[in-house]
Amino acid sequence: MSIEQTTAFTVDTVPATNRDFVRRLDELVDVHLRAMDYPSSTRAQRASLWLHNSSYPDFTCAMAMLHSTAAPPDPSDSRQRCVGIAFTFRGTPETWWYRQVARGLAETGMTQLEISHTLTDYAELSEIHVQPNMQGQGIGRALFESLLPRIPQSTVMLSTPEVPGESNAAWRLYRRLGFTDVLRNFQFPADPRPFGILSRPVR
Distances (CA, A) of 44 to 6, 83, 134, 155: 34, 20, 24, 31
- The angle formed by the CA atoms of residues 69, 70 and 72, to the nearest 5 degrees, is 75
Asked if 98 is an active-site residue, the reply is no
Distances (CA, A) of 72 to 24, 78, 103, 163: 18, 13, 45, 38
- Give 12: exposed, middle or buried? Use CB within 10 Å, 0-12, 13-18, 19+: buried
**How many separate helices (H) and strands (E) can be counted in the chain?**
7, 8
**Which of the following is catalytic: 38, 98, 122, 174?**
174
Region of residue 2 (left: phi > 0; alpha: psi -120 to 50; beta: else): beta
Q: What residues act catalytically?
A: 174
